């Protein structure tokens, strides 16, 4: 079951596992591992990530706030 939650908030020190940019999406895997992605990489891989996630925390709404 995939769940969108408001779990632990991401901070500016959380970095994308693909490119090192600020992380806005945190994915917890059934195996217990956690991945963090920037908005770009989260969108690029969203379908696959959601299919393997036990938790999917999406904070990309922070990108549109000024």
- The Cα 32–Cα 38 span in angstroms is 20
> pTM of the full predicted structure?
0.83
Cα 46 from Cα 23, distance rounded (Å): 14
For residue 27, CA distances in Å to 10, 14, 65, 66 come to 11, 12, 22, 25
Q: Which of 5-9, 30-34, 35-39, 43-47 has the lowest mean pLDDT?
A: 5-9
**What is the model's pLDDT at position 34?**
95
Q: Is the pLDDT reported for residue 29 higher than 80?
A: yes
Confidence of residue 28 (pLDDT cuts 50, 70, 90): very high
Helix (H, G, I), strand (E, B) or coil at 60: helix
pLDDT at 6 over 60: no
Q: Does domain 1-66 have CATH number 2.10.110?
A: yes
Q: Side by side, which strands form the sheet with 34-37?
A: 34-37, 25-29, 53-58
């Amino acid at each position: 079951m995939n769940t969108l939650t408001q779990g632990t908030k991401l901070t500016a020190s959380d970095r994308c596992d693909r490119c090192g940019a600020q992380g806005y999406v945190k994915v917890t895997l059934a195996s217990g591992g956690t991945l963090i992605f920037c908005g770009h990489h989260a969108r690029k891989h969203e379908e696959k990530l959601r299919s393997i996630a036990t938790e999917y925390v999406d904070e990309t709404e922070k990108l549109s706030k000024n």
